[in-house]
């Protein structure tokens, strides 16, 4: 079974404190990480295979403080903890290396000494020797190593606390190390930091984070975490104790001030370098964004020009088509006017073959003498004047049919009237009278009237 970690406190209790009892393997993963999902079934199989090993998972997005403290920079990352310390780390989905490391670290530790045979009694000398070997003087604190180099602290206990764990009755849970063992802080480093003007809580955090390594390390940590909102907050779960009370470092006040100024200047230069780097990066991003915006504007302008060109071409085609249509209409109208001016085809008499049995003269000569061309000017109801050529034998009904055929908008019936002398022809007169009978030969004018 794989246990899920949800907080830094739970990580300290389960992993740091729990690693004193057994090997603990921590799987740092992320939901969006493909290799993490790929190796997840393998981790479950390892937890089943190595039942004496505790396997835990930490989601780096949900428990970011633990991931930062453990300095996890890639996923998946596997860290092995034993006796409160990190003993191995595998970065990447190398499941074979992880299994080899777990198998190596999970091997049982051989006991030192000859031991005892079952059924024999331990002598007082053996008991005394074991006590001397496994304990320390109760008055001297043991300097404990950091569990994780990035700030998760654990402490080893004194002989008294060890004895308390040994004296617990069977069936009782062991007391947590974070509840019984204090965190020791070097008094001389703490005093030096306070003498330089740093708050006591900030100085304590610096000593704990640097494991009392040196005054310069503590000051560098303070300057590096100067903007951390929790720099002046101490973890209430820690039992902090100041120990090693020696005299202050043999440095004069001027030397301390010079050291402080030097460290402050170095921290200021580091901040300025970071700010300059950030400003350069921001300027690069601004220039890159400006280029992208300019490119987008250029593309938009190019697209607009292409759209305008397409629109102008379309308008030109439509105008050309409209001009062509008007030209055809004008041509049709001109042809119609020419046809109206030419008038109907003159009626010609068909020449009859002579009858050999008779001695009558040829009728063709008489017809040619009686048929003459006649030009009429027709005035339509809308005031339009139209001239047409007929013959003197053309009947008024043929003239009326000519007008109706060429001007269908006049309707199905019209009337004709002579201009001078004014006379309106009746219906039966249209069928009976010719243009010569109506005194319209060789030229004449008629009004076209609607009934």
Distance between CA 40 and CA 57 in Å, rounded? 10
Question: Which residue in 208, 235, 200 sits closest to 150, CA to CA?
Answer: 208
What residue ranges in 83-187 does DSSP mark as E strands?
Answer: 85-91, 183-186
Closest to 194 measured CA to CA, from 210, 209, 207: 207
CA distance 404 to 84: 119
Report how far apart the first and last C-alpha atoms of the chain are (Å, whole number): 112
Q: Is the dihedral of CA 123, 125, 126, 132 positive or negative?
A: positive
Find out whether 402 and 343 touch, Cβ atoms under 8 Å: yes
CA–CA separation, 441 and 451 (whole Å): 25
Is 33 part of the annotated catalytic residue set?
Answer: yes
How many Å apart are CA 92 and CA 95, to the nearest integer?
A: 8
Measured between alpha carbons, how far is 11 from 65 in angstroms, rounded to an integer? 11
Q: One of 14, 33, 224, 340 is an active-site residue; which one?
A: 33
Q: Which residues is 345 bridged to in the sheet?
A: none
Partners of 81 in the beta sheet?
24, 86
* Residues 6+ positions from 247 with CB-CB distance below 8 Å: 188
Tokens (6 digits) for 348? 């010609």
Q: Please give the Cα distance from 1 to 43 (Å, whole number).
A: 9
| Locus of tokens 């030009």 | 375
What is each CA distance from 272 to 219, 279, 377, in whole angstroms? 18, 10, 107
- Structure tokens that stand for 376 in this block: 């009429």
Q: In angstroms, what CA-CA distances link 204 with 23, 87, 229?
A: 31, 27, 15
Please pick, among 36, 72, 222, 396, the residue that the annotation labels catalytic.
36
Active site (catalytic) residues: 33, 36
């Amino acid at each position: 079974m794989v246990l899920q970690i949800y907080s830094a406190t739970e990580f300290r209790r389960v992993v740091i404190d729990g690693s004193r009892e057994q090997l603990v393997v921590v799987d740092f993963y992320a939901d969006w990480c493909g290799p993490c999902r790929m190796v997840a079934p393998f981790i479950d199989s390892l937890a089943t295979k190595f039942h004496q090993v505790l396997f835990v998972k930490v989601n780096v997005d949900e428990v970011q403080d633990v991931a930062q403290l453990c300095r996890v920079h890639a996923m998946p990352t596997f860290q092995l903890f034993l006796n409160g310390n990190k003993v191995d780390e595998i970065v990447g989905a190398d499941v074979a290396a992880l299994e080899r490391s777990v198998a190596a670290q999970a091997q049982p530790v051989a006991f030192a000494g000859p031991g005892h045979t079952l059924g024999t009694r331990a002598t007082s000398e053996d008991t005394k020797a074991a006590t001397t070997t496994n304990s320390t003087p109760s008055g001297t604190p043991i300097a404990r190593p950091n569990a994780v180099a990035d700030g998760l602290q654990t402490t080893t206990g004194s002989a008294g606390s060890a004895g308390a764990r040994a004296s617990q009755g069977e069936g009782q849970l062991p007391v947590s190390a974070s509840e019984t063992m204090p965190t020791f802080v070097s008094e001389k480093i703490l005093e030096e930091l306070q003498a330089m003007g740093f708050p006591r809580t900030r100085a304590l955090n610096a000593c704990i984070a640097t494991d009392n390594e040196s005054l310069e390390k503590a000051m560098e940590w303070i300057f590096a975490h100067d903007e951390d909102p929790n720099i002046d907050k101490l973890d209430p779960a820690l039992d902090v104790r100041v120990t090693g009370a020696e005299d202050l470092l043999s440095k004069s006040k001027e030397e301390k001030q010079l050291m402080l100024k030097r460290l402050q200047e170095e921290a200021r230069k580091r901040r300025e370098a970071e700010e300059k780097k950030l400003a350069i990066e921001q300027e690069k991003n601004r220039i890159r964004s400006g280029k992208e915006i300019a490119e987008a504007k250029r593309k938009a302008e190019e697209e607009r020009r292409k759209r305008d060109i397409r629109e102008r071409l379309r308008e030109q085609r439509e105008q050309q088509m409209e001009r062509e249509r008007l030209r055809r209409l004008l041509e049709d109208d001109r042809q119609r006017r020419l046809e109206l001016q030419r008038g109907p085809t003159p009626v010609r008499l068909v020449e009859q073959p002579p009858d050999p049995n008779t001695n009558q003269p040829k009728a063709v000569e008489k017809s040619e003498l009686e048929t003459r061309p006649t030009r009429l000017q027709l005035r339509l109801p809308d005031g339009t004047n139209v001239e047409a050529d007929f013959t003197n034998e053309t009947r008024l009904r043929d003239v009326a049919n000519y007008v109706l055929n060429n001007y269908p908008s006049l309707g199905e019936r019209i009337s004709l009237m002579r201009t001078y002398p004014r006379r309106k022809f009746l219906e039966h007169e249209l069928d009976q009278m010719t243009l010569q009978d109506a005194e319209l030969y060789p030229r004449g004018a008629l009004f076209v009237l609607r009934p």
